[in-house]
Amino acid sequence: MEKKHLAVDINHATVRFNMASESILSIKEYFVKLVKGQLMFQEFFALQDISLQVDKGESWGFIGTNGAGKSTLLKLICGILKPFEGTVQVFGSLAPLIELGAGFDPDMTARENIFLNGAILGHTKEFMQTHLDDIVEFSELREFLDVPIKNFSSGMTARLGFSVATMVRPEILIVDEILSVGDYAFQQKCHKRMEEMLSGGTTLLFVSHSIEQVKALCKHALWLEKGRIVMSGESSEVCEAYIMRTTF
């Protein structure tokens, strides 16, 4: 099958957390439980039999209640989690925004963190050097460039994180409920940036509890419930069905 047009290809993926009923983290406990025969693992399927084909340039919103498996699905696509069964293939460069500023080191200055975070996203130092000005410009944090991140407010940290991650036009952008950060003006700026990227051909995978945001940004939507796909298709239809279900 020709897969050239695909950005993400998930086939019957299942994610299993083989979690101990209470996590055993010391050798002594492990042996005590082993001897007592209490070493039971509770299987928990965070995602079951998920199949999803995302074409290049498409925008998908993932919706569902808390614990439905939305973030797990994003982590699966990012490669943070490996599928227990099934396959996940990603074609193109990824920029995961699962949490803004996850790669920041609080003791280092904003400038140092820009380079560190860029490196985490797989960019070279020279590349970051040429984009430094744009990043600083977009985040509007020029005067705080040499201040350690630990003295930043959460909004400022998020600004910096968003600026770094979206500075480079990734082929696939993964966004997990992060646009609620920052002040109103900055939120608008983020939306504008994401719309720009979308029209530039970036594939967007977006998790949000704001149905309005999903409708505004995404053409397609996927509704997850307890790790299974309930419905997928046009975002307006899926969102409507989802609202119907949850309100009545």
Partner 1 sequence: MKRVIQWIRNFLKYKDLFSQLVIRDIKLKYRRSFLGYLWSVLNPLFTMLIMWVVFSNLFRFDIQFFPVYLLTGQILFGFMTEATNSSIASILGSTALLKKTYIPKYIFTLSRVTSSLVNLLLSMIALIIVTLFIGVPLTWHMLTFIFPILQLYFFCVGLGLFLAQGSVFFRDLQYIWGVIVTAWMYITPIFYPISIMPEWLQTLIKFCNPMYAYIAQFRDSILYGVPSGPNLYIAGIGWAMIMMAAGIWSFVKNQDRFILYI
> Which spans of this chain sit near partner 1 (rule: CB under 8 A)?
17-19, 23, 25-28, 30, 75, 78-82, 94, 96, 98-99, 102-103, 105, 107-108, 112, 115-116, 118-125
Q: Which is nearer to partner 1, 107 or 237 (CB)?
A: 107
Q: Which two tokens stand for residue 246?
A: 């949850």
| Minimal distance, residue 39 CB to partner 1, in Å | 13
Q: Which two tokens stand for residue 104?
A: 């920041």
C-alpha span between 164 and 166 (Å, rounded): 6
| Minimal distance, residue 119 CB to partner 1, in Å | 4
User: What is the distance, to the nearest Å, from the Cα of residue 242 to the centroid of all Cα atoms in its chain?
Assistant: 21
Q: Which is nearer to partner 1, 13 or 238 (CB)?
A: 13
Q: Which is nearer to partner 1, 105 or 140 (CB)?
A: 105
| Minimal distance, residue 163 CB to partner 1, in Å | 16
Dihedral class, residue 216 (left if φ above 0, else alpha if ψ from -120 to 50, else beta): alpha
Q: Which is nearer to partner 1, 152 or 223 (CB)?
A: 152
| Minimal distance, residue 70 CB to partner 1, in Å | 15
C-alpha span between 87 and 84 (Å, rounded): 9
Q: Which is nearer to partner 1, 4 or 125 (CB)?
A: 125
Task: Give the Cβ contact number of residue 181 at 10 Å.
Answer: 19
Dihedral class, residue 173 (left if φ above 0, else alpha if ψ from -120 to 50, else beta): beta
Rounded (5°) CA angle 84-222-162: 85
| Minimal distance, residue 28 CB to partner 1, in Å | 7
Q: Which is nearer to partner 1, 79 or 201 (CB)?
A: 79
CA distance to 31, 46, 138, per residue, from 68 (Å): 35, 8, 34
| Minimal distance, residue 185 CB to partner 1, in Å | 26
